[in-house]
Amino acid sequence: MAVITVTNENFEELKNSEKTVLLDFYADWCGPCKMVSPMIDQIAEEHPEYLVGKVNVDDEEDIAEAFGIMSIPTLVVLKGGEIAQKSVGVIPKEQILSLLK
Protein backbone atom coordinates (compact mmCIF):
# COMPACT_ATOMS: atom_id res chain seq x y z
CA MET A 1 0.00 0.00 0.00
CA ALA A 2 1.13 3.52 -0.66
CA VAL A 3 1.91 5.99 2.08
CA ILE A 4 -1.02 8.28 2.87
CA THR A 5 -0.45 12.01 3.15
CA VAL A 6 -2.25 12.86 6.38
CA THR A 7 -4.27 16.08 6.48
CA ASN A 8 -6.96 17.52 8.74
CA GLU A 9 -9.48 16.30 6.13
CA ASN A 10 -8.56 12.60 6.29
CA PHE A 11 -7.11 12.32 9.81
CA GLU A 12 -10.25 11.17 11.65
CA GLU A 13 -10.91 8.41 9.11
CA LEU A 14 -7.31 7.23 9.41
CA LYS A 15 -7.33 7.43 13.21
CA ASN A 16 -10.51 5.35 13.43
CA SER A 17 -9.20 2.59 11.14
CA GLU A 18 -9.43 -0.98 12.36
CA LYS A 19 -5.86 -1.48 11.11
CA THR A 20 -2.81 -0.50 13.12
CA VAL A 21 -1.70 2.96 11.96
CA LEU A 22 1.90 4.20 11.70
CA LEU A 23 2.27 7.97 11.53
CA ASP A 24 5.55 9.61 10.55
CA PHE A 25 5.72 13.24 11.73
CA TYR A 26 8.29 15.07 9.60
CA ALA A 27 9.24 18.31 7.85
CA ASP A 28 10.78 18.79 4.40
CA TRP A 29 13.77 20.68 5.87
CA CYS A 30 14.58 17.97 8.46
CA GLY A 31 17.70 15.93 7.64
CA PRO A 32 17.00 13.02 10.03
CA CYS A 33 13.43 12.85 8.64
CA LYS A 34 14.91 12.20 5.20
CA MET A 35 16.76 9.21 6.66
CA VAL A 36 13.54 7.72 8.08
CA SER A 37 11.33 8.41 5.05
CA PRO A 38 12.60 5.57 2.77
CA MET A 39 12.09 3.03 5.59
CA ILE A 40 8.53 4.27 6.09
CA ASP A 41 7.90 3.91 2.35
CA GLN A 42 9.25 0.33 2.41
CA ILE A 43 7.09 -0.63 5.37
CA ALA A 44 4.00 0.75 3.59
CA GLU A 45 4.78 -1.35 0.50
CA GLU A 46 5.80 -4.54 2.32
CA HIS A 47 3.09 -4.56 5.02
CA PRO A 48 -0.42 -3.90 3.68
CA GLU A 49 -1.81 -4.99 7.06
CA TYR A 50 -0.83 -1.53 8.39
CA LEU A 51 -1.97 1.94 7.37
CA VAL A 52 1.06 4.19 6.99
CA GLY A 53 0.76 7.94 6.92
CA LYS A 54 3.09 10.91 6.85
CA VAL A 55 2.23 14.13 8.65
CA ASN A 56 4.08 17.28 7.57
CA VAL A 57 4.29 19.24 10.83
CA ASP A 58 4.62 22.53 8.96
CA ASP A 59 1.38 21.95 7.03
CA GLU A 60 -0.62 20.13 9.72
CA GLU A 61 0.25 21.98 12.93
CA ASP A 62 -3.06 21.02 14.58
CA ILE A 63 -2.37 17.29 14.25
CA ALA A 64 1.23 17.68 15.45
CA GLU A 65 0.02 19.70 18.43
CA ALA A 66 -2.66 17.13 19.28
CA PHE A 67 0.07 14.47 19.52
CA GLY A 68 2.43 16.71 21.48
CA ILE A 69 5.13 16.54 18.81
CA MET A 70 8.17 18.47 20.04
CA SER A 71 10.92 16.89 17.93
CA ILE A 72 11.00 15.28 14.52
CA PRO A 73 11.12 12.71 13.19
CA THR A 74 8.56 11.21 15.55
CA LEU A 75 6.80 7.94 14.81
CA VAL A 76 3.43 7.24 16.44
CA VAL A 77 1.58 3.92 16.35
CA LEU A 78 -2.19 4.02 16.80
CA LYS A 79 -4.26 0.98 17.74
CA GLY A 80 -7.99 1.47 18.09
CA GLY A 81 -7.50 5.22 17.73
CA GLU A 82 -5.21 5.37 20.77
CA ILE A 83 -1.45 5.90 20.94
CA ALA A 84 0.16 2.49 21.46
CA GLN A 85 3.80 3.43 20.80
CA LYS A 86 5.84 6.57 20.19
CA SER A 87 9.46 6.94 19.09
CA VAL A 88 11.51 10.10 18.56
CA GLY A 89 14.56 10.23 16.30
CA VAL A 90 16.05 7.94 13.69
CA ILE A 91 15.69 4.23 14.41
CA PRO A 92 16.37 1.16 12.23
CA LYS A 93 13.60 -0.39 10.15
CA GLU A 94 13.51 -3.50 12.38
CA GLN A 95 12.85 -1.31 15.40
CA ILE A 96 10.05 0.53 13.56
CA LEU A 97 8.46 -2.82 12.74
CA SER A 98 8.73 -3.90 16.38
CA LEU A 99 6.72 -0.80 17.37
CA LEU A 100 3.86 -2.09 15.23
CA LYS A 101 3.56 -5.48 16.93
> What are the catalytic residues?
30, 33
- What does the chain come to in residues? 101
Other Cβ atoms within 10 Å of 28 Cβ, number = 10
Contacts of 56 (CB under 8 A, 6+ apart): 5, 26, 27, 28
Asked if 52 and 22 touch (Cβ cutoff 8 Å), the reply is yes
